[in-house]
């Protein structure tokens, strides 16, 4: 699903069919072929003249696409023949005609089954989809039970889904999605225009009813207006990554009737507001009391919301502290390690920093990927200044981390290994040992010490359980926070450039983007293949941040 721009919690979405130009109750072509003995729902065969065309592009296992389908259920039922409703699926075609879907083979199978149901159960296919959505992770197999509940014959659907016909329907559906430039699930088009408003049933009804060229149907007469919600986007024009346009688009998907005001930190009103609500990082969303009238919107923004006098504030920025960009800001302890202030200094070639949580699976992948990268450059006589820093909070006896005490304990052991076994990078041998084959989930850390490892378990134990380890980890946590890092894994190269990546090829490519050294021409391991029936995690997946 599409990644939001510097937005915690907004991160919103990705996304389906001969002409799968099926309205409710219509199969491909100009007429509908009813199942034998099956009665069409009222208005499901014909569409009234002037009915707005609504196209919904989804992935059958995308939760956001599923939510949109469920929200359209009441809309389709209410408008009946006054909506020309179509669903298509988002996926990829390989050079040999092979098909794939973002969430894996089971999603592709579910897409195909639903496309076949559109053709062979034209009056009830959407009801079947809604039934499947109750457990959308099982769309590849739960369709037969749903069809049975609805009295839909399964023989033709099964034959279609298992044969070339289903693949052809899906190929054509993918083509329509591509032609519509639909890449995120859900993508919604109304009369050929991309819809970017709220995703509740009432939001859809208001948008569709506004598209009738003639007299609106009775169902459109008494739709209540969504409550207005005043929201101020406080940002800073000096911040290149603070994409307020993308943020405004995301707000429109969460709030039915947002009234958006943009204020810049550099303006007197912006500085005054910043000092009043103290959001920390920018951009920030600042709501007044009107948010209380939209319960769904209030719930959508509840995470991370804080009270600030008459306002409710959500800081959605990750890195940008405007005080650091003010005159003299980089001289403060708060700012000197920020990315902005680092970039005011000369670059440090070949310096590579990795920020992780020791029990974050994505952080583990990144550290394991670094092994191949470091070995590649070492054999090309390139020495990288490589270091690892940890993400957490607290100090002394009150250290905390996202994955609990076990993660803090392992963080302590790793900072102690880095302190006492720098020679020949023995500390990295300890970490690679801990992080292989999911050993990081266990307490069996002693297995990575003793023998020919050159690492003394007693040294690690004394350090990690004593004041030395607590001090080392406190310093690491503070360094990470001062650097503006909260997501595991994160990388900073040359003391200036931040990137995300877990596989060796991605890590190497980003290092080489800023360091033209021997070894950059090598092709290293890319992302691992997704599990059977599953999907690969997005390239920028991580913990926190």
- pLDDT tens digit sequence for 456-465: 999 999 999 9
Model confidence over 379-404: pLDDT tens digits? 999 999 999 999 999 999 999 999 99
Using CB atoms within 10 Å of the CB of residue 58, give its burial: 0 to 12 exposed, 13 to 18 middle, 19+ buried: buried
pLDDT of 31 > 80? The answer is no
pLDDT of residue 40: 33
Locate the domains of the chain by residue range. Answer: 53-220, 228-320, 351-514
pLDDT at 253: 84
Q: How confident is the model at residue 39 (pLDDT cuts 50, 70, 90)?
A: very low
For 228-320, give the CATH class: alpha beta
Residue 250: predicted pLDDT: 85
Q: Domain 351-514 classified CATH 3.40.30.10?
A: yes
Residue 295 scores a pLDDT above 90:
no
Tokens of 102: 């973002």
What pLDDT score does 539 carry?
67
- H-type alpha helices, 235-302: 244-254, 268-277, 295-300
Instruction: Assign domain 53-220 to a CATH class.
Output: alpha beta
What phi-psi label fits residue 203: left (phi over 0), alpha (psi between -120 and 50 degrees) or beta?
A: alpha
What's the confidence (pLDDT) of residue 182?
95
3-state secondary structure of 179: helix
What does the CA dihedral 431, 433, 435, 440 come to, rounded to 10 degrees? -100
Q: Are 318 and 6 in contact (CB under 8 A)?
A: yes
Q: What is the mean pLDDT of residues 472-480?
A: 97
99-144, pLDDT tens digit by residue? 999 999 999 999 999 999 999 999 999 999 999 999 999 999 999 9
393-437 pLDDT per residue, tens: 999 999 999 999 999 999 999 999 999 999 888 999 999 999 886
| pLDDT category of residue 535 using cuts at 50, 70 and 90 | low
Cβ distance 316 to 305 under 8 Å? no
- Give the percent of the chain with pLDDT over 70: 89
Query: What pLDDT digit, counting tens, does each position of 180-225 carry?
Result: 999 999 999 999 999 988 898 999 999 999 999 888 999 998 888 8
Kindly report whether the global pTM for this prediction surpasses the value 0.95.
no
Residue 238's pLDDT band (cuts 50, 70, 90): very high
Q: What does each C-alpha distance from 448 to 86, 395, 440, 445 come to in angstroms?
A: 57, 27, 11, 6
Task: Tell me if 53-220 shares its fold with 228-320.
Answer: yes
pLDDT, average across residues 161-176: 97
Q: What confidence score (pLDDT) does residue 452 get? A: 84
Query: Residue 267's pLDDT is what?
Result: 94
Strand 351-356 with 490-493, pairing? antiparallel
């Amino acid at each position: 699903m599409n990644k939001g721009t510097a937005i915690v919690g907004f991160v919103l979405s990705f996304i389906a069919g001969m002409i799968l130009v099926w309205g409710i109750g219509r199969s491909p072509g100009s007429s509908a072929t009813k199942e034998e003995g099956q009665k069409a729902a009222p208005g499901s065969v014909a569409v009234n003249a002037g009915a707005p065309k609504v196209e919904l592009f989804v992935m059958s296992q995308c939760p956001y696409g599923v939510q949109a389908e469920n929200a359209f259920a009441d809309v389709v039922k209410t408008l009946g023949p006054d909506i020309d409703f179509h669903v298509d699926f988002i996926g990829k075609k390989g050079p040999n005609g092979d098909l794939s879907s973002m969430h894996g083979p089971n999603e592709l199978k579910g897409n195909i089954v639903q496309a076949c149901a559109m053709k062979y159960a034209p009056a009830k296919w959407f009801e079947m989809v809604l039934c499947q959505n109750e457990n959308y992770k099982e769309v590849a197999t739960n369709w037969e039970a749903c069809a049975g509940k609805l009295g839909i014959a399964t023989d033709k659907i099964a034959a279609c889904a298992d044969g070339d016909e289903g693949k052809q329907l899906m190929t054509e559906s993918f083509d329509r999605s591509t032609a519509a430039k639909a890449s995120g699930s859900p993508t919604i088009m109304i009369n050929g225009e991309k819809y970017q408003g709220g995703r509740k049933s009432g939001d859809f009804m208001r948008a569709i009813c506004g598209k009738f060229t003639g007299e609106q149907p009775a169902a459109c007469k008494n739709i209540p207006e969504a409550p207005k919600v005043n929201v101020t986007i406080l940002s800073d024009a000096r911040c290149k990554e603070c994409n307020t346009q993308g943020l405004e688009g995301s707000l429109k998907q969460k709030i039915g009737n947002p009234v958006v005001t943009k204020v810049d930190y550099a303006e007197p009103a912006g500085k005054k507001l910043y000092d009043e609500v103290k959001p920390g990082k920018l951009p920030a969303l600042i709501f007044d009391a009107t948010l209380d009238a939209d319960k769904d919107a209030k719930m959508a923004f509840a995470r991370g919301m804080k009270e600030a006098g008459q306002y409710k504030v959500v800081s959605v920025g990750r890195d940008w502290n405007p005080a650091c960009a003010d005159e003299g800001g980089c001289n403060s302890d708060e700012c000197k390690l920020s990315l902005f202030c680092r970039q005011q200094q000369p670059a440090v070639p070949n310096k590579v920093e990795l920020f992780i949580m020791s029990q974050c699976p994505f952080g583990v992948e990144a550290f394991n990927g670094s092994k191949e990268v470091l070995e590649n450059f070492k054999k090309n006589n390139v020495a990288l200044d490589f270091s690892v820093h940890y993400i957490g909070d607290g100090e002394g006896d009150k250290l905390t981390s996202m994955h609990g005490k076990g993660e803090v304990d392992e963080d302590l052991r790793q900072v102690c290994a880095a302190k006492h076994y720098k020679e020949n990078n023995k500390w990295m041998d300890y970490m690679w040992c801990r992080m292989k084959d999911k050993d990081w989930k266990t307490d069996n850390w002693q297995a990575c010490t003793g023998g020919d490892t050159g690492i003394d378990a007693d040294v690690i134990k004394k350090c990690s359980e004593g004041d030395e380890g607590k001090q080392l980890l406190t310093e690491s946590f503070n360094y990470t926070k001062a650097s503006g890092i909260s997501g595991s894994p994160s990388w900073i190269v040359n003391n200036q450039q931040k990137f995300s990546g877990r596989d060796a090829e991605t890590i190497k490519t980003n290092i080489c983007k800023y360091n033209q050294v021997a070894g950059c021409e090598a092709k290293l391991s890319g992302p691992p293949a997704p599990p059977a029936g599953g999907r690969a995690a997005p390239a920028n997946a991580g913990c926190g941040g």
